């Protein structure tokens, strides 16, 4: 997937941007940003809002820098914006960084979470006769290209003796895929939370197979090489990432409270949000050899399926300098 600046311009033109000013400081690590002259530009994702999570956890107060927010529809355009220097930080799933790395983007992975895989699922409609992944042969399967669900689907097919050429892949975004599943125009849908819980509740869809044993559950926090070359911005990034990590732990400990906020933020029914939150419980993990190896294996899956042209070296895009802000469990 090439990074297209024309597409980026269209995304940024429709992004909603606001600025939050903070005061105070966190000591020596943020001293370069403590005069308030640094503005950290954060790419936020609709339906998976960092801003909402940080606000709910009380982590937006007392920053030594300003924050400007731009909203995007999904992970890939956030990484396009990071590569183009339009934003400094974004949080995405396990697959967008692979496509960005294949395009030689100037992105850097600086943080990771490990999310439960119960809601990473291939769904079938209510009443479907399909009972095993091997029965997907010849079927119409919807998936968002370049998403975590795309990698999940590839691995499910591979481990069940199939490949992409043996199904009818339908590259659809979640809203279109949900409509197609509801109307019977597709036989299965590879997706993630909260769409899994939404499809179950609204259409009676059934999970054919979840992500356990097929894909890693990592989510990644991303910045740019240019941002890391700036002392003040790096200090702000370190503080902001630590706040994100504490907010993840807060959401784990306050699931009902976070589900209610998330439901209001997304318009999802509360029971759907509650189920999605439970399935998306996450651990904050350091960027170590195990994380890099698992992500490399996923990248190799895309290369082996001829989805990517050539091998991607994930280690070239990983910087563990902020591992020190990973909470001790």
Is residue 65 domain-shared with residue 125, that is, in the same domain?
no
Distance from C-alpha of 77 to C-alpha of 49, rounded to nearest angstrom? 15
Q: How many domains does the chain have?
A: 2
Distance from C-alpha of 91 to C-alpha of 79, rounded to nearest angstrom? 9
Is residue 167 domain-shared with residue 262, that is, in the same domain?
no
* Containing structural domain, residue 138: 121-210
The answer to whether 133 and 157 are in contact (CB under 8 A) is yes
> Dihedrals φ, ψ of 94, to 5°?
-80, -15
Res 295 pLDDT > 60: yes
Boundary residue ending a domain (157, 177, 210): 210
206: which DSSP letter?
E
The answer to whether 9 and 48 are in contact (CB under 8 A) is no
Under the banding of pLDDT at 50, 70 and 90, the label for residue 35 is: low
Does residue 85 come out as left (phi exceeding 0), alpha (psi in the -120 to 50 range) or beta?
A: left
The answer to whether 147 and 95 are in contact (CB under 8 A) is yes
Res 233 pLDDT > 80: yes
pLDDT score of 49: 86
Is residue 164 domain-shared with residue 309, that is, in the same domain?
no
Boundary residue ending a domain (167, 185, 210): 210
Distance from C-alpha of 317 to C-alpha of 307, rounded to nearest angstrom? 20
3-state secondary structure of 120: coil
Look at 30-39, 202-211, 288-297, 315-324 and tell me which has the smallest mean pLDDT.
Answer: 30-39
Is residue 100 domain-shared with residue 150, that is, in the same domain?
no
pLDDT score of 265: 86
User: What is the reported pTM?
Assistant: 0.84
Q: What is the per-residue pLDDT across 20-33, written as a single tens digit (0 to 9) for each?
A: 333 333 334 444 45
CB atoms within 10 A of CB 279: 20
Q: What is the per-residue pLDDT across 261-281, written as a single tens digit (0 to 9) for each?
A: 999 988 899 999 999 999 999
pLDDT score of 314: 97
Q: What is the per-residue pLDDT across 104-114, written as a single tens digit (0 to 9) for each?
A: 999 999 999 99
pLDDT score of 5: 34
Q: Which helix (H) or strand (E) holds 219?
A: strand 218-224
How large is the average pLDDT for residues 42-57?
90
Is residue 307 domain-shared with residue 165, that is, in the same domain?
no
Q: Return the exposure string of 123-158: e unless at least 16 CB atoms fall within 10 Å of the residue's CB, then b.
A: bbbeebebeebebbeebbbbbbebbbbbbbbbbbbe
Under the banding of pLDDT at 50, 70 and 90, the label for residue 146 is: confident
Res 195 pLDDT > 70: yes
Q: Which residue has the higher pLDDT, 223 or 329?
A: 223
Does residue 53 come out as left (phi exceeding 0), alpha (psi in the -120 to 50 range) or beta?
A: alpha
CB atoms within 10 A of CB 1: 17
Is residue 193 domain-shared with residue 224, that is, in the same domain?
no
3-state secondary structure of 271: helix
Distance from C-alpha of 317 to C-alpha of 67, rounded to nearest angstrom? 25
Is residue 10 domain-shared with residue 105, that is, in the same domain?
yes
Res 288 pLDDT > 90: yes
The answer to whether 227 and 155 are in contact (CB under 8 A) is no
pLDDT score of 14: 35
Is residue 201 domain-shared with residue 241, that is, in the same domain?
no
How large is the average pLDDT for residues 184-204?
95
- Among residues 259, 43, 268, the alpha carbon closest in space to that of 174 is found at 268
Is residue 227 domain-shared with residue 283, that is, in the same domain?
yes
Is residue 273 domain-shared with residue 137, that is, in the same domain?
no
Is residue 15 domain-shared with residue 106, that is, in the same domain?
yes
CATH number at residue 162: 3.40.190.10
How large is the average pLDDT for residues 165-186?
94
Boundary residue ending a domain (150, 181, 210): 210
Could you write out the three-class secondary structure of 7-53? HHHHHHHHCCEEEECCCCCCCHHHHHHCCCCCEEEEEEECCECHHHH
How large is the average pLDDT for residues 91-113?
95
Q: Which CA distances in Å does 20 have to 60, 226, 236?
A: 8, 23, 14
Average of per-residue pLDDT values in the chain: 88
pLDDT score of 27: 39
Q: Return the exposure string of 72-110: e unless at least 16 CB atoms fall within 10 Å of the residue's CB, then b.
A: bebbbbbbbbbbbebbbbbbbbbbbbbbbbbbebbbbbb
Is residue 296 domain-shared with residue 259, that is, in the same domain?
yes
């Amino acid at each position: 997937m090439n990074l297209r600046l024309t597409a980026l311009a269209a995304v940024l033109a429709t992004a909603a941007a606001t600025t939050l000013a903070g005061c105070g400081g966190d000591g020596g690590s943020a001293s370069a940003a403590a005069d308030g002259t640094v503005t950290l530009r954060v790419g936020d994702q609709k339906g998976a809002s960092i801003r909402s999570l940080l606000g709910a956890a009380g982590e937006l107060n007392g920053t030594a820098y300003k924050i400007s927010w731009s909203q995007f529809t999904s992970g890939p355009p956030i990484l396009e914006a990071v590569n183009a220097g339009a934003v400094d930080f974004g949080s995405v799933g396990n697959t967008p960084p692979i496509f960005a790395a294949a395009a030689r983007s100037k992105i850097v992975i600086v943080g990771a979470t490990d999310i439960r895989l119960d809601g990473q699922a291939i769904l079938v409609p209510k009443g479907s006769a399909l009972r095993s992944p091997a029965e997907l042969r010849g079927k119409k399967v919807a998936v968002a290209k370049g998403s975590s669900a795309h990698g999940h689907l590839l691995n499910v097919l591979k481990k069940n003796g199939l490949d992409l050429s043996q199904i009818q892949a339908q590259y659809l975004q979640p809203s279109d895929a949900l409509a197609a599943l509801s109307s019977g125009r597709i036989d299965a849908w590879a997706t993630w939370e909260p769409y899994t819980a939404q499809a179950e509740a609204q259409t009676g869809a059934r999970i054919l197979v979840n992500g356990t044993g097929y894909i890693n559950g990592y989510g990644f926090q991303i910045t740019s090489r240019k941002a890391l070359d700036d002392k003040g911005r790096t200090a702000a990034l370190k503080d902001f990432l630590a706040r994100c990590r504490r907010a993840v732990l807060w959401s784990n400990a306050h699931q009902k409270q976070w589900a209610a906020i998330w439901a209001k933020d997304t318009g999802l029914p509360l029971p759907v949000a509650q189920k999605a939150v439970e399935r998306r419980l996450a651990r904050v993990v350091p960027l170590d050899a195990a994380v890099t190896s698992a992500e490399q294996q996923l990248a190799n899956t895309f290369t082996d399926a001829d989805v990517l042209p050539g091998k991607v070296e994930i280690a070239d895009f990983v910087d563990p300098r902020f591992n020190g802000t990973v909470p001790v469990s």
